[in-house]
Amino acid sequence: MVGLSWAERIGVPESFALAGLEMDPARLPGGTGWGELAGELRGYLDALVGVDPPADLVSEMAEQLRSWRERLAAARVPERDQPWGHRVDLPARGQALAPHVEMLDRGDDWLEATVVFGRFHLGGHDAVHGGAVALLFDEVLGRFSDTHGRPAARTVSLDVAFRAVTPPERELRLRVWFEREHGRKRQLHGELRDGDVVCAEARALFIVLRPDQG
Ligand SMILES: CCCCCCCCCC(=O)SCCNC(=O)CCNC(=O)[C@H](O)C(C)(C)COP(=O)(O)OP(=O)(O)OC[C@H]1O[C@@H](n2cnc3c(N)ncnc32)[C@H](O)[C@@H]1OP(=O)(O)O
């Protein structure tokens, strides 16, 4: 991994790096505390899903969340200026929507990572929600599609086959790879495993954006 730029290390194209602000988090949207905040939000959602709290605690939480929502309204910015999803220096781009992914290794056209779905991503009966699995593939395949100097593309098709139950709160293995690139089209595949068990496979088609679509 030595020798890769920070954006390459975390699997995003340089073009998505916030121009001129690269490695100084204090100058990035959200500042130095954003990663901790996103992590706490992720942890909060996982904790909330797993409790049956007493009525007074529920009321207190609702009141505090309402208060935060009202305070945040005054700080609203256009999408391009928000740290959420744009902090490519942080795990999961500084957002809590997609599960936490840690890259293990990569080549020019393949990548291996670990992923842990939280309890927040549970669909039911101890299985991760199928939409959350599709979200994982779209996030990782989509970001990897744009690496190694490739121009930005968008998902036009994502087929996911659910082969076995995907368990939450376990370290799973993810492998993604390019299958084909031709013209504006990129076909990528992904496979999610729990040990030797294939939980899900994905095949996705990305279309490179024309300059007027960026
Ligand atoms: C900071 C880091 C950020 C990381 C982001 C994480 C990744 C997230 C990725 C996403 O989720 S992107 C959001 C979900 N996707 C969309 O919203 C895409 C919506 N669709 C579009 O915006 C347009 O379809 C698009 C701009 C991508 C392409 O429109 P065009 O009008 O330029 O393309 P066109 O329709 O001419 O299709 C180009 C080729 O693709 C083919 N094609 C298009 N859609 C297809 C499809 N669904 N299946 C198969 N082929 C398809 C089409 O037939 C054609 O083939 P040929 O060149 O051979 O004629």
Q: Report pLDDT for 211.
A: 87
Angle at 192 between CA 179 and CA 49, to 5 degrees: 140
* Ligand 1 lined by 205 (C-beta under 6 Å): yes
Evaluate: CB of 155 within 6 angstroms of ligand 1: yes
Architecture of the domain spanning 98-213: Roll (3.10)
Can you tell me which atom of ligand 1 is nearest the CA of 207? 27
Across the range 39-43, mean pLDDT stands at 96
> Is residue 1 scored above 50 in pLDDT?
no
**Ligand 1 pocket, 64 CB below 6 A?**
no
Q: What value, to the nearest 5°, has the Cα angle with vertex 203 and ends 145 and 183?
A: 50
Residue 151: both structure tokens together: 């121009």
Looking at residue 22, what is its pLDDT? 56
Where along the chain do its domains lie? 1-97, 98-213
pLDDT tens for 57-99 read: 999 999 999 999 999 999 999 888 899 998 888 888 899 999 9
Residue 150's CB is within 10 A of a number of other CB atoms, namely 16
d(CA 104, CA 112): 5
The string of pLDDT tens digits covering residues 93-145 is: 899 999 989 889 988 899 999 999 999 999 999 999 999 999 999 999 999 99
pLDDT over threshold 50, residue 2: no
What pLDDT does residue 16 have?
43
Does position 14 have pLDDT exceeding 70, yes or no? no
Distance (Å, whole) CA 29 – CA 84: 9
Q: What is the pLDDT of residue 23?
A: 59
Residue nearest to atom 44 of ligand 1 (CA): 156
pLDDT digits (tens, 9 = 90+) for 145-163: 988 888 889 999 999 999 9
**Closest to 123 (Cα-Cα) out of 152, 70, 162:** 162
What is residue 130's predicted lDDT score, i.e. its pLDDT?
Answer: 98
In DSSP terms, 116 is beta-bridged to: 100
* Per-residue pLDDT band at 183 (split at 50, 70, 90): very high
Let me know: does 41 contact 83? Beta carbons within 8 Å: no
Query: Has residue 19 got a pLDDT over 50?
Result: no
Cα(11) to centroid(ligand 1), Å:
21
